[in-house]
Amino acid sequence: MIELRKITFDNFNECINLRVEEDQQKFLATNMYTLAELYVVKTNNSSFIPMPYAVYHSDTMVGFITMSYVISQNNQNKNYYDIYRLMIDKEYQQNGYGKKAIVRAIELIKTFPHGDASKIIIVYGEENKIARKLYTSLGFIENGERDEDGDILAEYIL
């Protein structure tokens, strides 16, 4: 069973030591960078509310997922959640953990822990065919938009 657990002092080091295969490193930042980035977001009155979680199978940490609640500055009805980082450690890939982690993330987001929203946005590089296949299989639909890095945006309607 896959479970999402908050990052704490007890599991922080384990989280930052997770690694992906060498050829996957170009697709995402390290967990250390991501956690540092979340610290900056949290301490600078950002319109993003970070939601980092360790991905566990039973009591073994197998990955890391980061979501956030994004508060629109212009229109309350435009608030949304996003899933902007997912990684499964290279030792635990090919076991369906990534898909199950996204399902758990969607379930968590549907409880609206930080406020109402109508969608979840996910971003991935065009060359990341594994991510595209995973996300579209779970109901994410590419919306034709790109982020500032040229990556694809896909939406899941809540």
Q: Tell me the domain boundaries of the chain.
A: 2-118
pLDDT digits (tens, 9 = 90+) for 98-138: 999 999 999 999 999 999 999 999 998 888 888 899 999 99
The CATH superfamily holding the domain 2-118 is Gcn5-related N-acetyltransferase (GNAT) (3.40.630.30)
pTM above 0.85, yes or no: yes
Q: What is the mean pLDDT of the chain?
A: 90
* pLDDT on residue 129: 87
With H, G, I as helix, E, B as strand and everything else as coil, classify residue 25. Answer: helix
- Which residue bears the tokens 């009591």? 59
Q: What does the alpha-carbon distance between residue 62 and residue 40 come to, in Å, rounded to a whole number?
A: 25
Question: Phi and psi at residue 119, in whole multiples of 5°?
Answer: -155, 165
* pLDDT on residue 79: 93
CA 9 to chain centre: 20
* pLDDT on residue 112: 96
Mean pLDDT of 61-72: 94
Q: What does the alpha-carbon distance between residue 47 and residue 29 come to, in Å, rounded to a whole number?
A: 21
Query: Does the pLDDT value for residue 29 go beyond 90?
Result: no
Query: Does the pLDDT value for residue 75 go beyond 80?
Result: no
